Chains A and B, each alone.
Chain A
Amino acid sequence: MLLEVKNLGVYYYTLSGVVRGAENVSFSVREGEWITFVGESGSGKSTVAHAVINLVPSPGKIVTGEVLFQGKNLLAMKPEELRKIRGKDISMVFQDPMTSLDPLRKVGDQIVEAMRVHGVDDDEARQRAKEILEKVNLPADRLDYYPHQLSGGQRQRISIAIAMAFNPKLLIADEPTTALDVIVQDAIMDLIDEMKDEGTSIYFVTHDISLAAERSDRIAVMYAGELVEIGTTEQIIENPLHPYTRALVESVPDLWKESEVRAIPGYPPDLRNPPSGCRFHPRCPIFKEKAELKGRCDVRGPETLEVEPGHFVACHLYGGA
């Protein structure tokens, strides 16, 4: 197991109250696999991705849990040790590359700098920078550009180039294509796919379940700060167990699917004051239908159960009484 996350919880201490950004999140990432976290905004998918590398933005705090990377707890590490792992063994790509690139420095210098931090000397770093730029299909002269001279797609290629520099064991990609057009998105996804082919595990985060379905080995579904279902892509798409996952799969328009699109009623909850019991129950169609679920779903949070091999779900419909 490359990465094991156990019982992770992250709270945001805002002026208007404590936002329970993520709670009871446990999962693992295997060597060489592509796992995708799906959820809407506020579901905690991004929070968890940041917590894994101990980079939760203020006013967020990791309140429970541990993150074992190759057996070592990242959350208990000294900043110095963690820094050595970040960028080398674990790389990150974010939605807006403009925020992770320094606007005042040429991209080439930034790639070199990223390598220098981890002890590569300048000449070698220059050489390697050229090579990886080629790998992400950018002409070598782009090294002399400033970030603002590049398009969003090109900037994202640069940040992937930086992420690739050390052949990391794990790439965490948080909505890297959300701001991009589909054709460019597809090209960026191809690049990430290439990284996977070279042995990097991919931890991908997106709101788009179609994007998740297309390339991942496994999918994890988050709702209102909790992990509600996790399984292989086939299990999640063809046999979704959690009512939310099912609704999500049915609600996305798809070019190659003929079935009707069905809307999910209601709105996601306010995480300062989440619903009691299962957080999805106020929107859950099955809870509304079945009277016998009253007193269960709205009172007690569900346990996570392995319903079929490798397919986990947190829902009262499974696991008997």
Chain B
Amino acid sequence: MRIIDFLIKPLRERKPGRGLLVFGVIVVLTVVAMAILAPFISPYNPTQIGEDIFAPPSLKHPMGTNNLGQDVFSRIIWGSRIILYVVAVATTLSIAIGVPLGLLSGYYGGKTDRTLSMIMDSIYSFPSLILAIVIAVVLGPSPINTAVAISFVYVPTYFRMVRGQTLSLKGQLFVEAARAIGTKSSEIMRKYILPNVLPTILVVFTLSVADAILTEAGLSFLGLSVTPPTPDWGYDLHVGQPFLLDGYWWLAFFPGIMIMLLAMGFAMIGEAINERLSLGTR
């Protein structure tokens, strides 16, 4: 409830970053709506091969058709499902692993903390796309495996952020006060530290979602995510790219612009929340 309020309120308030936020929220909500309503709004079956190949955008095919005569618009609409699904599973996984580990590590410190930090830092120091590629190759192409690969890359991001915040919150008087009233450690973490880390998790979440979208698109561009003919933005971008030179720009253009818009949408929400938070501390 409070989280929702936290998200809605800034939309109404005239404060810096409102434009960013409004833009981001509109883009993200549109894509989400596309994914949910796909069966109803998609004019064609996205995998239906047709005779009308390389048709330019027209009223009949708003985004044209591709080399197999599939309607690009329909593929864009259905493709949003895959990308959102993969990204949602991936971020849920990385939050579910990264946040508790960060809390424990930061709160208790000691050997566990040092070991965990070392592991996380070494994952973090790899280039994320290459790491994701390696894992995806090992696991084999499927959306859920892609999600696992991506989540693996983002666990350290959450872990490091939560651990750092926990470390500094642990030294705050209100945590000491909680100890003074006899609160158990597990409860201190849950009731006193976690709520104070949440806003930052939200920022990292939106920013890393933006990043994860690009990673997902990258993986499927390389053919490591879905198997054809499943509609997928990254894969479609890959398929359409050779035809750019022949003048069939719409094949690659629409998937590409969608990937960019969605990533930007999340990034802007993240920026806006971040700005709001740093305002609050001033």
Contacts and interface: CB of A to CB of B under 8 A. Distances in A.
A15 B279 CA distance: 9
Contacts of B279: 15
Nearest to B13: A15
B108 to A, nearest CB: 32
Interface string B9-38: 000000110000000000000000000000
Chain B interface SS verdict (over half): loop
A18 to B, nearest CB: 15
A15 B17 CA distance: 13
Interface string A49-88: 0000000000000000000000000000000000000000
A15 B16 CA distance: 9
A15 B280 CA distance: 11
A15 B14 CA distance: 9
Interface in A7-25: 15
Interface string A1-39: 000000000000001000000000000000000000000
A15 B278 CA distance: 13
A310 to B, nearest CB: 42
A6 B156 CA distance: 60
Contacts of B15: 15
A15 B282 CA distance: 11
Interface in A169-207: none
B213 to A, nearest CB: 32
A15 B15 CA distance: 8
A15 B10 CA distance: 14
Interface string B260-282: 00000000000000000001000
Nearest to B279: A15
A204 B16 CA distance: 38
Interface in A235-281: none
B275 to A, nearest CB: 11
Nearest to A15: B15
Interface in B226-279: 279
B15 to A, nearest CB: 6
B70 to A, nearest CB: 51
Contacts of A15: 15-16, 279
A114 to B, nearest CB: 31
Nearest to A14: B282
A303 to B, nearest CB: 38
Nearest to B14: A15
A177 to B, nearest CB: 25
B117 to A, nearest CB: 29
A153 to B, nearest CB: 26
A136 to B, nearest CB: 35
Interface string B31-48: 000000000000000000
A25 B15 CA distance: 32
Interface string B117-153: 0000000000000000000000000000000000000
3 contacts: A15-B15, A15-B16, A15-B279
Interface of B: 15-16, 279
Interface of A: 15
- Nearest first, the 3 closest Cβ-Cβ pairs linking A and B are A15-B15, A15-B279, A15-B16
